[in-house]
């Protein structure tokens, strides 16, 4: 495993450093003129390792909840930063998962018309997926991720040892996005991570290699289409269904687990529409199921699921933009008219295939 990954963006290159001493180093020499925004749970768990950081002049602890990345909470965050004398040229530093990333990235994009930011991702999902790609997404009222920008960080520091304290559901959520990006890379890539899947729970070095590998696959896609106008759309594999499942269960299912079910559902749909052979669905079903069935089965209210799916912002009229695998298991974007046949297929999946 190489120690760094450089990503090209419209604001120039930025680097993800794989460095298990990064947090220790940060704490030993806390830079001046930085403002920390830290996941409150991480601050508690790592209070010892981060004691100098936590005692520095500008620290804001935020609980990682969807409500806390809602637009109206930003008044409080901006007031806090003003009270700490925020100026252009200073740096915002995020420590936490995707929620801290979204909050700090959005502030960095808009505060004083743009500030540099850096990121210490602490969840598997953030380390293996969201930390690169430049996106910020925040909620307005009940509408998730409706405001956003493309604002890459200056630097990302990946400390995989902090993953040891993640709850299992959060760990599986990150694994879901890792399975996704490997599926996009192709069947051989997916089969490799599927074979190693059980060991990812116990083998730190192997996990680190797959985190690096996941980012390397994503890097090629976002460099080709940073602004999500073309090829990057395939990263939404599992996401139309996943978002609808999250929304229908009131966010009871963690994002990456919903995406895992969403990929299985996409494969099932493709099989039932005759777009691909049943063997592709059957090949991917066991590893996907292994990832989502470690999570207690929630009841999926079908009508909520359908209304959430049809409201998804990536859809135009009654046409649904779906990311489905083709006959070679290649992930492709297509437009499908929502009709009784699709409703039937998805009802079958949710009532008969999922958690049978
Ligand atoms: N901007 C993007 O590109 C992008 C991409 C994917 C997801 N997201 C967003 O990210 C959010 C989800 O992020 P996430 O899954 O990384 O998790 P998160 O930030 O929601 O954190 C999940 C839980 O893990 C806890 N936690 C974080 N680090 C920990 C650690 N080291 N040990 C123990 N507990 C820890 C948090 O306190 C929280 O309870 C969603 O809001 C999603 O919309 C953004
Ligand atoms: Zn995702």
Q: Write out pLDDT tens, residues 133-165.
A: 999 999 999 888 999 999 999 999 999 999 999
**pLDDT in the model for residue 183:** 97
Q: Considering only 264-273, 309-318, 334-343, which range has the smallest mean pLDDT? A: 309-318
Q: Does the C-beta of 64 come closer than 6 Å to ligand 1?
A: yes
Question: Relative to the alpha carbon of 109, which ligand is closest?
Answer: 1
> 3-state class of 194 per DSSP?
helix
**pLDDT in the model for residue 318:** 75
Name the percent of the chain lying above pLDDT 90. 90
Q: Which of 109, 156, 235, 255 to mutate to test the pocket of ligand 1 (most atoms within 8 A of CB)?
A: 255
**pLDDT in the model for residue 297:** 64
Whose tokens are 């430049």? That residue is 134
**pLDDT in the model for residue 355:** 75
**How much of the chain is helix, strand and coil, in % rounded to 5?**
55, 20, 30
Q: Does the C-beta of 70 come closer than 6 Å to ligand 1?
A: no
Residue 259 CA to ligand 2 center (angstroms) comes to: 7
**pLDDT in the model for residue 150:** 98
**Cβ count within 10 A of residue 44:** 12
Residue 136 CA to ligand 2 center (angstroms) comes to: 13
**pLDDT in the model for residue 294:** 78
Q: Does the C-beta of 97 come closer than 6 Å to ligand 1?
A: yes
**CA-nearest residue, atom 36 of ligand 1:** 64
Is the four-CA dihedral 304, 178, 121, 5 of positive or negative sign?
negative
Question: Counting atoms of ligand 1 from 1, which one is nearest the CA of 100?
Answer: 19
Q: Does the C-beta of 136 come closer than 6 Å to ligand 1?
A: yes
Residue 255 CA to ligand 2 center (angstroms) comes to: 6
CA atoms within 13 A on the CB side of 4: 9
| pLDDT interval class at 224 (50, 70, 90) | very high
Give the chain's radius of gyration (CA, Å): 20
Q: What is the mean pLDDT of residues 213-237?
A: 96
For helices 187-196 and 168-185, what crossing angle results, to 10°? 150
Whose tokens are 């730190």? That residue is 204
Joined together, the tokens standing for residue 119 give 């990121």
């Amino acid at each position: 495993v190489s120690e760094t990954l450089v990503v090209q963006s419209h604001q120039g290159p930025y680097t993800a450093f794989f460095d298990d001493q990064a947090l220790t180093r940060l704490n030993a020499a806390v830079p001046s003129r930085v403002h920390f925004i830290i996941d409150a749970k991480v601050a508690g768990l790592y209070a010892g390792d981060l004691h100098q950081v936590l005692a520095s002049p500008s620290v804001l602890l935020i609980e990682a909840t969807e409500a806390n990345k809602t637009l109206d909470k930003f008044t409080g965050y901006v007031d806090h930063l003003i009270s700490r004398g925020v100026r252009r040229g200073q740096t915002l530093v995020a420590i936490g998962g995707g929620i801290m990333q979204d909050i700090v990235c959005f502030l960095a994009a808009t505060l004083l018309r743009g500030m540099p930011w850096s990121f210490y991702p602490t969840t598997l999902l953030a380390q293996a997926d969201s930390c690169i790609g430049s996106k910020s997404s925040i909620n307005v009222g009940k509408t998730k991720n409706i405001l956003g920008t493309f604002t890459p960080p200056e630097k990302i520091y990946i400390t995989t040892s902090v993953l040891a304290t993640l709850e299992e559901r959060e760990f599986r959520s990150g694994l879901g996005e890792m399975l996704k990006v490997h599926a996009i890379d192709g069947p051989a890539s997916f089969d490799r991570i599927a074979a190693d899947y059980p060991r990812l729970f116990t083998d730190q070095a192997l996990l680190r290699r797959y985190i690096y590998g996941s980012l390397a696959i994503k890097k090629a896609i976002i460099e080709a289409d940073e602004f999500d106008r073309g090829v990057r759309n395939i990263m939404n594999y599992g996401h139309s269904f996943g978002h609808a499942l999250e929304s229908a269960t009131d966010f009871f299912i963690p994002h990456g687990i919903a995406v895992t079910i969403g990929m299985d559902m996409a494969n099932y749909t493709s099989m039932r529409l005759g777009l691909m052979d049943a063997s592709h669905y059957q090949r991917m079903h066991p590893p996907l199921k292994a990832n989502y069935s470690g999570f207690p089965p929630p009841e999926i209210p079908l009508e909520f699921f359908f209304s959430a799916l049809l409201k998804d912002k990536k859809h135009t009229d009654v046409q649904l933009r779906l990311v489905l695998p083709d006959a070679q298991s290649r992930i492709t974007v297509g437009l499908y008219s929502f009709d009784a046949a699709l409703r039937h297929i998805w009802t079958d999946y949710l009532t008969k295939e999922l958690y049978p």
